[in-house]
Structure 1
Amino acid sequence: MKVVLFCGGMGTRMREYSETIPKPLVSVGHRPIIWHLMRHFAHFGHTEFILCLGYKGELIREYFLNYNPLMSEDSSLVKGKASLHASGTDVPDWTIHFVDTGLRRNIGGRLLAVKHLLKDDDVFLANYSDQLCDIDLNQYISQARQRDKIASFVAVRPPGSYHSITSDADGTVSYIGPWADSELWINGGYMVLKKEVFDHMKPGEELVEQPFQRLIEKKQLYTHRHTGFWKAMDTYKDKMSFDDDYESGNRPWEVWR
């Protein structure tokens, strides 16, 4: 299936990087986070990508159009000829469509902007480009197909030191505990969408705020609860956390290893 990736945001909470590069190009180890995400999809056979570009999208184009695995994998220069020490992590079978979807469009607007590339697809995948996960895509997609809803997404309980609370209207607390122990789940992306989703979208609408609400009313929205690894890169602190994971060898998103 084709994979739509939303890459156009300005990453305002990552000023340390976003003034020079778009957030999808912020590195995790030796490669940008979007490469790791695409490698995950490719591992499960989904190798045709539609990148919805916006802020500094030309840099994303440049990265992939000039992609050179020798710059990020172990390699040698022997008698003037470069060679990789290992294979299997390159991208020769990927097809990438680069689409300028505007500087300030929301997710719904970016999806509508690439509708013409999905006209022959009954089902397609979509995701944000700043998160990584260890989900088994084959299993998840199979379950989504069995549910036979117009739209599906992964629900997660993100890591962190926050506490969730339950309180009465007057502020009296009846529960306080770690976020991970609560029943709170958030939208973790990794969407499986039928082409009928476009029938419930209008120009200018945010995908989750209006179209998904219509699907809820029609009981056409399904979520898959994922209890494994999931992490988003929203802030500089998140970037440092990813770097710590990578350097320590704790890389659960690398399902292709």
Structure 2
Amino acid sequence: MKAVILAGGLGTRIAEESDFKPKPMVEVGGRPLLWHIMKTYAQHGIKEFVICLGYKGYVIKEYFFNYYRHTANLEIDLRTGNADVLDSQAEDWKITLIDTGQDTMTGGRVKRIRPYIGDQTFCLTYGDGLSNIDVSAELAFHRAHGKLATVAAVQPPGRFGVLNTRADGLVTSFEEKPQDEIGWINGGFFVLEPSAIDYIEGDDTSFERAPLANLARDGQLMSFQHHGFWQPCDTLRDKRELQALWDAGKAPWKA
């Protein structure tokens, strides 16, 4: 089975980092977000990946092409130019890197990689969110219901305090909004049958709009409720929060 990862967006809300690299290459714990996501899938036995490249895709190509240089200890003889790997930390992954266009929308990127996924069920996610989702359980759920698509449903943490006030403006109570009052949202971890791609028209199609809406209309979309950790990395604040979890040894997504 393969996991498709969307890694071509601009990341405008974290521009301080993504001016120089694609957002999936923003680092947490010294490794790119993309690497952490791939580790999550690999933990569940999925070690073949199709990466949808776009904005600054060459950065992702360079990282994996020179993976040893980025992750291993090396011994280099400057006279000869020879380099020996002292301790290999290479993953047993197979990675297909496909340029899906600079301005292509998410649905269009998925449609462009159709020739590389074969005729089997595949996973799909975004390259900028970390989670401890049980991919194996989601796959089992998908196979049991027999529909074309499964989306992980998550309840994001409340980021804003709720103020209860009197007419004169006096705050009578302040509390964080409970997760169960926020509702379920698209958590971005999908399991799809290849025929689900038929719901995508072309490059200008956002996967989150018409394709998912039409799959739901046709009774072909199921939700897998994930109650564990889920955190997108959309802003520098998000990155700092994720880094703080990593530094404290409390990163729930760490495989």
- In which range does the TM-score fall when normalised by the shorter chain? 0.7 to 0.9
Q: CA deviation at 1:117?
A: 1.0
3-state SS, counterpart of residue 191 of structure 2: strand
Distance 1:6 1:164, change over 3 A: farther
Q: CA deviation at 1:121?
A: 2.2
Deviations 1:23-64 (A, max 9, x none): 111001111110011011111111111110000000000000
**Structure 2 residue aligned with 1:83:** 86
Distance 1:121 1:20, change over 3 A: same
What letter is aligned with 1:146? A
Structure 2 unaligned runs (5+)? 76-82, 164-174
3-state SS, counterpart of residue 12 of structure 2: coil
3-state SS, counterpart of residue 213 of structure 2: helix
* % identical equivalent positions: 36
**Structure 1 residue aligned with 2:238:** 238
**Structure 2 residue aligned with 1:195:** 194
Distance (whole Å) between structure 2 residues aligned to residue 196 and residue 17 of structure 1: 36
Query: Aligned residues, how many?
Result: 238
**Does the 8 Å contact 2:67/2:90 carry over to 1?**
no
1:136 aligns with 2:139: no
Distance (whole Å) between structure 2 residues aligned to residue 225 and residue 163 of structure 1: 25
Q: Give 1:149-188 correspondences, 5 Å limit.
A: 149-162=147-160, 178-188=177-187
Deviations 1:101-154 (A, max 9, x none): 011111000001111112x32311100000111112111110111111111110
Deviations 1:201-248 (A, max 9, x none): 211221121011111111110111111011110001001011101100
**Structure 1 residue aligned with 2:213:** 213
What letter is aligned with 1:194? E
3-state SS, counterpart of residue 189 of structure 1: strand
3-state SS, counterpart of residue 14 of structure 1: helix
**Does the 8 Å contact 1:156/1:225 carry over to 2?**
yes
Distance 1:2 1:212, change over 3 A: same
**Does the 8 Å contact 2:153/2:223 carry over to 1?**
yes
Distance (whole Å) between structure 2 residues aligned to residue 163 and residue 217 of structure 1: 35
Distance 1:212 1:71, change over 3 A: closer
Q: CA deviation at 1:162?
A: 2.3
Deviations 1:2-33 (A, max 9, x none): 11100000000011111111111100111111
Q: CA deviation at 1:183?
A: 4.8
**Structure 1 residue aligned with 2:32:** 32
Structure 1 unaligned runs (5+)? 166-175
Distance (whole Å) between structure 2 residues aligned to residue 128 and residue 114 of structure 1: 14
**Structure 1 residue aligned with 2:102:** 103
Distance (whole Å) between structure 2 residues aligned to residue 146 and residue 162 of structure 1: 38
Q: CA deviation at 1:76?
A: 9.0
Distance (whole Å) between structure 1 residues aligned to residue 12 and residue 190 of structure 2: 24
Distance 1:103 1:179, change over 3 A: farther
Q: CA deviation at 1:156?
A: 0.7
Q: CA deviation at 1:163?
A: 5.2
Distance (whole Å) between structure 2 residues aligned to residue 252 and residue 156 of structure 1: 15
